[in-house]
Amino acid sequence: MMTSTPGTTQANLTQLEYLALNASLNVADGHARQDLTETQKRIIDDLPTLFAKAAGEPLEELERNAQRTFLTTFGQHRFPTGPDRVLSCYASSVAMEILARSLVGSVATVGLVHPTFDNIPDILRGVGLGLAPVEEDLLVGGDLDAGIPPEVQALFVTTPNNPTGRVLAEDRLRLLAQVCQRRNIVLCLDTSFRGFDYRAQYDQYAILEAVGCRYVVIEDTGKLWPTLDLKVGLLVSSDNVGLPVPDIYSDILLGVSPFILALVERFAEDAAAGGLDELHEHIAGNRRVLRETLAGVPGVSFPDPDSRVSVERVGIPRHTGSQLFDGLSRQNVFVLPCRQFHWADPERGEDAVRVALARPRATVAAAAAEMRSILLG
């Protein structure tokens, strides 16, 4: 954990999230910090048994079961099963780092969805890749072939997107995959927020494999369940991807903890057995509390009315997002300004902040009340 941070507009989003970690009202980071449900509590009560199971079972089997249970719970039935096709990483950002390093050498320019969480452009640039912004609107509804710049050799799309919650629909993913296939672009998807939105749980692998494009998908167990950041990021590649993903993976890790794999399997089973509906209701309830609390505040809007992910943008035309961020942080309430999500054009993010919803109801209610009071004041 870090303790010093540059100024609000210079800092990256993760650095602003650090500030919130010890705050009384942290609605900044997108980690899952809601309370455990009753059935999840029973899994935690059983951790010693889970440890023994993880110690005793063959790792290969344990890992295969955890991956399959997680992926199929979210509709990904046709995920690839060949050697090195699904690599378990410590976190989705570690998967991202491995992907970025794997692109260097064969890819010069990555087309990247705009806006999106800033550690993605930072990692891609950090390893020396060039970036070309690709607007979310284009991906969701525009002319893909004309809109994706000609120099793009890999295209990175977060779906559902963070912070907007926009989902690439099935027909759009197919079109996108076809364009990538035709132009030999590596299609990279970050689906970390998929668990929150049934509309993103169609079988993406069935489409990608049918089209036959080169692809890499980053899956993440880390946004969903309050497991104190015991999580796994999955790095899934197509057979024809032509990138040294397994080599770079093996430079960085031998594998993740079998204990965490066993835990992921149990939480995914719980999700499939009703936990997912419960989670969706909890997030929807928190979203309602936030929207209702801020209703009627002059100038406040909700730019993503249809979003179901565990973060919500709040539009604040009268103020800049950075100013509201500062006012709230003086009250020990931490949100994220949206400026940094707009990595290619920060000014476009100045009129919104992002509020995390994967929190206890009371935390969201208190943060929303504080926002209302500052916005009205």
Among 37, 90, 140, 269, binds its own copies (CB under 8 A): 90
CA distance 372 to 377: 8
CA distance 373 to 25: 15
Among 163, 258, 275, 337, binds its own copies (CB under 8 A): 258
- Inter-CA distances, 178 with 21, 131, 202, Å: 42, 21, 17
Answer for the pair 349, 162: CB distance below 8 angstroms, yes or no: no
Q: Which is nearer to its own copies, 83 or 296 (CB)?
A: 83
The secondary structure element, H or E, covering residue 140 is helix 136-141
Shortest gap between Cβ of 71 and its own copies (angstroms)?
15
Among 188, 211, 260, 338, binds its own copies (CB under 8 A): 260
Q: Which is nearer to its own copies, 343 or 351 (CB)?
A: 343
Q: Which residues contact 355 (CB under 8 A, 6 or more apart)?
A: 27, 290, 311, 312, 313, 314, 335, 364, 367, 368, 371
In 3D space, the residue among 324, 198, 231 whose CA is nearest the CA of residue 30 turns out to be 231
Q: Does 157 participate in binding its own copies (rule CB under 8 A)? A: no
Q: Does 252 participate in binding its own copies (rule CB under 8 A)? A: yes
Q: Does 190 participate in binding its own copies (rule CB under 8 A)? A: no
Among 122, 209, 239, 269, binds its own copies (CB under 8 A): 122
| Interior angle at CA 179, CA 173 and CA 185, nearest 5 | 100
Q: Is residue 55 packed enough to be buried (19+ CB in 10 Å), middle (13-18) or exposed (0-12)?
A: exposed
Q: Does 63 participate in binding its own copies (rule CB under 8 A)? A: yes
Stretch that binds its own copies, among 93-101, 180-188, 296-304, 362-370 (CB under 8 A): 93-101
Q: Does 130 participate in binding its own copies (rule CB under 8 A)? A: no
Q: Residues interacting with its own copies, by CB under 8 A?
A: 1-4, 12, 14-15, 17-18, 21-22, 29, 31, 44-48, 51, 54-55, 58-60, 63, 83-84, 87-88, 90-91, 93-94, 97, 101, 119, 122-123, 126-128, 226-231, 246-260
